């Protein structure tokens, strides 16, 4: 019976979406996401080594997506890791209205609540991370019924599903990671929403424009790299909700998005993470 290797990875800044997408380049058994770290699992006799993981983390440092990292390696006895993973996926009450739950847990729904069923598997967006909560709360606050929505870096498609259930006319969810793309499709089907199109794509390849609302919960560097695409896809007076941003990066994000015709008018912060709402001039 095989034992397992567990690698506990912490980084500064910590963004589980970035880490997961990079680490899944290796043939891992699984990744558990926590508030401030990840745990990565392989078989004890796997060809994947600590050095392989360090190479990927060093790449993130060179790309300036993280400034530092730490990794602990442990040997764990064999057990049902899928069952262990399910124990760690919680029901998240994002607000009085929006609740995220896995399909394998029950929840007593209250009147007028929106229940979003998410089985995250290999992609980011269980609702437990601060940035996901931030975007969902801002989405609920500023949502316009019958809007056309673009969800950039959609992960589990949780934001797209929320937008659909809030009353969007049309939602396009895009992610350049194949695992996220496939998981997004599965979650859309689980929630029985028919107006979401999930695409394995990047924003510059999307031909449609005139979106009333654009959502992007990604890291700062990616947001800055695609800011002109975000602006061009957004209709005049449309809204853009951004997160994946550390509070220390607020001024730079505001400055660069203001330069391309977007004005910040609302902000939400949880711990060190913030979300910003912009309106296109």
Q: Strands 262-270 and 273-280: what pairing?
A: antiparallel
CATH class for the region spanning 4-85: alpha beta
pLDDT above 80 (res 1): no
- Please say if the pLDDT value at position 81 is more than 60: no
Q: Are 273 and 247 in contact (CB under 8 A)?
A: yes
pTM of the model: 0.77
DSSP string computed for 91-124? -EE-SSSEEEE-TTS---PPTT-EEEE---TTSS
CA 106 to chain centre: 23
Q: What is the residue extent of each domain of the chain?
A: 4-85, 89-280
148-202 pLDDT, tens digit each: 999 999 989 999 999 999 999 999 999 988 878 988 999 999 999 999 999 999 9
* Each residue's pLDDT tens digit, 215-269: 999 988 899 999 999 999 999 999 999 998 989 899 999 999 999 999 999 999 9
Is 117 in contact with 261 (CB distance < 8 Å)?
no
> The tokens of 267 are what?
């902000």
Which range has highest mean pLDDT (19-33, 65-79, 84-98)?
A: 65-79
- Intrachain domains 4-85 and 89-280 with the same fold: no
Q: Which has the closest alpha carbon to 188: 204, 202, 176, 199?
A: 199
What class is the 89-280 domain?
Answer: alpha beta
40-80 pLDDT, tens digit each: 888 888 889 999 999 999 999 998 889 999 999 999 877 66
């Amino acid at each position: 019976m095989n034992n397992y290797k567990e690698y506990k990875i912490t980084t500064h800044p910590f963004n589980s979406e970035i880490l997961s997408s990079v680490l899944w380049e290796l043939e891992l058994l699984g990744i558990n996401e926590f508030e401030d770290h990840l745990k990565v699992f392989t078989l004890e006799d796997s060809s994947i080594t600590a050095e392989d993981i360090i190479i990927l983390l060093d790449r993130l440092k060179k790309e300036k997506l993280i400034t530092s990292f730490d990794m602990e390696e442990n040997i764990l006895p064999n057990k049902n890791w899928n069952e262990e993973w399910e124990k760690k996926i919680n029901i998240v009450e994002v607000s009085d209205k929006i609740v995220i739950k896995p399909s394998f847990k029950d929840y007593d729904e209250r009147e007028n609540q929106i229940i979003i069923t998410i089985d995250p598997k290999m992609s980011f967006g269980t609702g437990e991370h601060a940035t996901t909560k931030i975007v969902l709360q801002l989405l609920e606050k500023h949502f316009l019924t019958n809007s056309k929505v673009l969800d950039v870096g959609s992960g589990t498609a949780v934001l797209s599903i929320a937008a659909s259930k809030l009353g969007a006319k049309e939602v396009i969810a895009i992610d350049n990671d194949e695992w996220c793309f496939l998981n997004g499709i599965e979650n859309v089907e689980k929630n029985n929403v028919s107006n979401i199109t999930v695409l394995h794509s990047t924003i510059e390849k999307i031909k449609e424009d005139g979106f009333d609302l654009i959502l992007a919960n990604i890291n700062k560097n990616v947001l800055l790299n695609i800011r002109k695409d975000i602006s061009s896809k957004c209709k005049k007076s449309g809204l853009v909700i951004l997160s994946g941003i550390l509070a220390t990066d607020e001024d730079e994000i505001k400055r660069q998005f203001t330069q391309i015709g977007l004005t910040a008018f609302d902000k939400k912060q949880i711990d060190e993470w913030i979300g910003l709402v912009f309106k296109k001039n």
